[in-house]
Structure formats: C-alpha cells, structure tokens
Amino acid sequence: MGLKGRGAFKRSPGTKGTRRSAVPPVRRSVQLRFLAHARSGDKGDTANVGLIALRPAFYPLLEREVTAARVAEHFRGMLTGGVERFELPNLRALNFLLHGALGGGGTLSLKTDAQGKVFSTALLRMEIPVPADLDV
C-alpha cells in the first residue's frame, strides 16, 4: 500500500534534513468517515455526536481539525442553536452538542430522526484537511 497520497510533495535533492522549502506540504481532503466512527443520541432538543478516532494516531488530527466552528458550519441551516465541543483524549473521542437539532426533540418533534440517531453519520460526511502522506 503506497504511503504517499495523490499530489505528494517531493523534496529536491540537497534539502534533506534542512528546513522545508517555501511551498507548504500538500494536503488533501478526507471525509471523517475514513478517520472516525461515531454514535449520536439526544438530550431534549439537543443532539450529541461522539466522534471516535478509528486509530489512536488519528486523534490529534481530529482534535486539531474538527473544531466546534467547523462542525457548526457543516450543519449550517440544520440547527437553531450553537455547537459545543468536549474532548475525551482517554477514549480518543470528541463529543459535540448540537443545540436545536431535533425539531423540538422527544415527543414534540415531527422528524424521522426525532432522537438524533443518525446525526452520527451526518457528521461523518464532513471533510477535513489531512497531511498528504497520511495512511488512511
């Protein structure tokens, strides 16, 4: 299995071990689905999504790139409230609270997913930038 993804950055001879050239390392976009698994549930009108790294090595990447702001942007138009994020490094997981996600939640909601059970996979659609040579 190749270690380098598409658009790999090749060093020119003579730069080995020295500082990088001015061109930043090429990154690519990967869906969270390939980096994490998830489980979602509800607390009233709030959906929570627990995002869990598929491999321990992916956690620092998730922690850096899957910010509350980016998740809020991902779900723009689908929430009436904001997004909070909590970290569980012991489980290599992030927990997101998506407020106003469930159309009133519980017995009030008219939604198919009134209990937020598939917000998990909705989050796994999100793409984040990863190093080009990340082995996914």
Partner 1 sequence: MTSPGRTVRIASGQGFWGDWLEAPVRQVEGGPIDYLMMDYLAEVTMSIMQKQRSRDPSRGYATDFIPLMERILPTVVERGIRITANAGGVNPRACADAVIAVARRLGLAGRIRVGIVTGDDILDRLDELMDGGHALANMDTGAPLTTVRGSVLSANAYLGAASIVEALRQGAEIVITGRVTDTGLTLGPMMHEFGWAPDDWDRLAAGTVAGHIIECGAQCSGGNCLVDWKGIPHLEDPGYPIVEARADGTFGVTKHAGTGGRISVPSITEQLVYEMGDPQHYITPDVVADFTTIQLEQAGPDRVRVKGVRGRPATAFLKVSVAYFYGYKAVGTLVYAWPEALEKARAADRILRERLARLGLAFEEVLTEFVGADATHGPLAGPPNADLPEVQLRIGVRARERAPVERFTREIAPLILNGPPSVTGFAGGRPKVEEIVAYWPALIAKSEIRARVEVVEA
Helix, strand, or coil here: 96? strand
Does position 83 interact with partner 1 (CB under 8 A)? The reply is no
Q: Let me know the angle formed at the C-alpha of 79 by 75 and 82, rounded to the nearest 5 degrees.
A: 90
State the Cα torsion 86-88-94-95 to the nearest 10°.
-50
Cβ distance to partner 1 smaller for residue 52 or 130: 52
Cβ at position 97, least distance to partner 1 in Å = 7
Beta carbons of 59 and 92 less than 8 angstroms apart: yes
CB 40 to partner 1: min, Å = 8
Closest to partner 1 by CB, 14 or 56: 56
Q: What long-range pairs does 7-12 form, CB within 8 A, spacing at least 24?
A: 7/132, 8/132, 8/133, 9/132
73 binding partner 1? (CB under 8 A): no
61 binds partner 1 (CB under 8 A): no
From 30, 48, 58, 66, residue interacting with partner 1 (rule: CB under 8 A): 48
CA Rg, the chain, in Å?
18
Contact in structure between 63 and 94 (CB atoms under 8 Å): yes
Nearest distance from C-beta of residue 30 to partner 1, angstroms: 17
Query: Which residues would be at the binding site for partner 1 (CB under 8 A)?
Result: 37-45, 48, 50, 52, 54, 74-75, 77-78, 86-91, 93, 95, 97, 103-104, 106-108, 110-113, 117-118, 120-122, 125
